[in-house]
Amino acid sequence: YSSVELTKHYLERIARLDPRLNSFVTVAADSALVAAERADQMLKSGEAGPLTGIPIAHKDIFCTQGIKTSCGSRMLDNFVAPYDATVVEKLAAAGAVVLGKTNMDEFAMGSSNETSFYGPVKNPWDETKVPGGSSGGSAAAVAARLCAVATGTDTGGSIRQPAALCGITGIKPTYGRCSRWGMIAFASSLDQAGVMARSAADAAFLLDEMAGFDSRDSTSANVPVPDYVDALDDGIKGLKIGLPKEYFGDGLDSRVAAVIQDAIKEYERLGAEIVEISLPNSPLSVPVYYVVAPAECSSNLARFDGVRYGHRCENPEDLEDLYKRSRAEGFGAEVQRRIMIGAYVLSAGYYDAYYLKAQKIRHLIADDFKRAFEQVDVIMGPTSPTTAFPIGDKMDDPVSMYLNDIYTIATNLAGLPGMSIPVAPVDGMPVGLQIIGNYFDEARLLNVAHQFQ
């Protein structure tokens, strides 16, 4: 197929199916076709790389020059960035064709894609259920074959959890592996860009182009990037897999536990060795995250003041009224809740009691992983405690929503890479196996995932 044929194929599917799924905020059909024609010329002249002409979608958190970047918020409903994010720029340089921007929880805060200003995304396997979040649009679009592959971001599970709930493969690389330049910040010490794909092999092709040092991001890691595709076919005989006992306890649906155990048995058949491990501080990861992430978000989102970007209220009386009403109108309920929690835990009287204490426990959580990786090569467990839940089910109960990320958040606090791959479904709904690796060991994660697929 030519890139123009592929691009038209996906655009036709988006036009037909996305009115039901709501996975795209913006479809960029015209610019996609122009890019596809250019890709076809490159294919003809022999200058093409592996991604030339491949139709992709970007989570609407990545700045794209000339295409709206909303971050799922009314605040940025009118925002068109004057530049491309590094990740967007790199994939464009590799010849990928951008079909559009995918729906997401507002400012990436959520686990169900229900906090988006543009309405919820539906799970393609059951449209009464959530796709997970916050990269729910990318997950649903890949699962429904509305694009070949998509970008996502993961602050506490937002690539892995929606990948699990939609039955696709998602990888959150090591903190600093992919540039965050031009990616709208939520919690800067946790945010990381990554890939949502149909398979580990597809993810490897994309990550090969996305990863690498960027001097424009001060947290970008200057560590050589191996060839992820090259490593896919390595054998995994003798691989040591750690199973943390804390990831198989109370709160895990027993049918999810059963299919995860079956997948781990398959790894044993492939020659891996299973080691029982413990991550004793992992039960503290959700409370620690809900101090650290809101603290950073309250500071990052201060820039949306009605002056420099985005929504501005009508007829402000004075500067204070402009700030207050622009932010009250522009931000939804969950974002406002996080800003208030963040401002509270950072305030002078409470800083030591909450923020400082959370930072200390964050170190203990990272140390748990450090000890575990002295014994094992990868850690496995469920990505999410249940399959996709009904739309509307948890919106009135933020704590139960937050607990959905119980198995994914610790890796962000430690900065480690994590992945989710589909295993056997439960009642027709997808389940994800999580694979956590040591720092910068993405090649091994992709290899281990590929051997299962």
Q: How far apart are CA 170 and CA 236, in angstroms?
A: 20
Q: Is the peptide bond before 134 cis (omega within 30 degrees of 0)?
A: yes
| Range 148-167, binding ligand GLN (CB under 6 A) | 154-158
Rounded to a whole number of angstroms, the minimum distance from the CB of residue 407 to ligand GLN is 12
| Range 276-305, binding ligand GLN (CB under 6 A) | 293
Q: Single out the residue of 391, 390, 433 nearest to residue 252, CA to CA.
A: 433
Choose which of 92, 108, 121, 141 interacts with ligand GLN (CB under 6 A): 108
Q: Is 418 in the site for ligand GLN (CB under 6 A)?
A: no
Question: Is 324 labeled as catalytic in the residue annotation?
Answer: no
Q: Which position among 3, 116, 158, 384 bears the catalytic label?
A: 158
The two structure tokens encoding residue 427: 């009642």
Q: Which position among 134, 135, 199, 298 bears the catalytic label?
A: 134
DSSP string, 270-330: TT-EEEEE--TTGGGHHHHHHHHHHHHHHHHGGG-SSSSSS---SS-SSHHHHHHHHHHHH
Question: Considering beta carbons, is residue 113 or 451 the nearer one to ligand GLN?
Answer: 113
Question: Considering beta carbons, is residue 102 or 111 the nearer one to ligand GLN?
Answer: 111
Question: Considering beta carbons, is residue 111 or 179 the nearer one to ligand GLN?
Answer: 111
Q: How far apart are CA 96 and CA 49, in angstroms?
A: 10
Tell me the window of 89-97, 104-112, 224-232, 299-307 that interacts with ligand GLN (CB under 6 A): 104-112
- Residue 190 has a CB neighbour count (10 Å cut-off) of 21
Question: Is 73 labeled as catalytic in the residue annotation?
Answer: no
Q: Side by side, which strands form the sheet with 240-244?
A: 24-27, 97-102, 55-59, 149-154, 192-197, 169-172, 418-422, 432-437, 378-382, 240-244, 273-277
Q: How far apart are CA 361 and CA 357, in angstroms?
A: 6
Q: Single out the residue of 115, 170, 147 nearest to residue 29, CA to CA.
A: 147
First to last CA, the chain: 25
Question: Considering beta carbons, is residue 199 or 384 the nearer one to ligand GLN?
Answer: 384
User: Pairing relation of β-strands 240-244 and 273-277?
Assistant: parallel
Q: Is 134 in the site for ligand GLN (CB under 6 A)?
A: yes
Q: Is 110 in the site for ligand GLN (CB under 6 A)?
A: yes
Question: Is 122 labeled as catalytic in the residue annotation?
Answer: no
Q: Which position among 3, 23, 59, 172 bears the catalytic label?
A: 59
The contact pattern for ligand GLN, residues 245-264, with x = CB under 6 A and - = no contact, is: --------------------
Residues in binding contact with ligand GLN, number by CB under 6 A: 13
Rounded to a whole number of angstroms, the minimum distance from the CB of residue 401 to ligand GLN is 7
Rounded to a whole number of angstroms, the minimum distance from the CB of residue 355 to ligand GLN is 17
Q: Residue of minimal CB distance from ligand GLN?
A: 158
Q: How far apart are CA 125 and CA 92, in angstroms?
A: 31
Q: Is 405 in the site for ligand GLN (CB under 6 A)?
A: yes
Rounded to a whole number of angstroms, the minimum distance from the CB of residue 104 to ligand GLN is 8
The conformation of residue 74, written as its DSSP 8-state character, comes to: G
The conformation of residue 352, written as its DSSP 8-state character, comes to: I
Q: Is 420 in the site for ligand GLN (CB under 6 A)?
A: no
Q: Is 183 in the site for ligand GLN (CB under 6 A)?
A: no
Choose which of 11, 71, 81, 109 interacts with ligand GLN (CB under 6 A): 109
Q: What would you report as the CA-atom Rg of the chain, rounded to the nearest whole angstrom?
A: 21
Q: How many CA atoms lie within 13 A of 277 on its CB side?
A: 25
Residues classed as catalytic: 59, 134, 158
What residues line the site for ligand GLN (CB under 6 A)? 108-111, 134, 154-158, 186, 293, 405
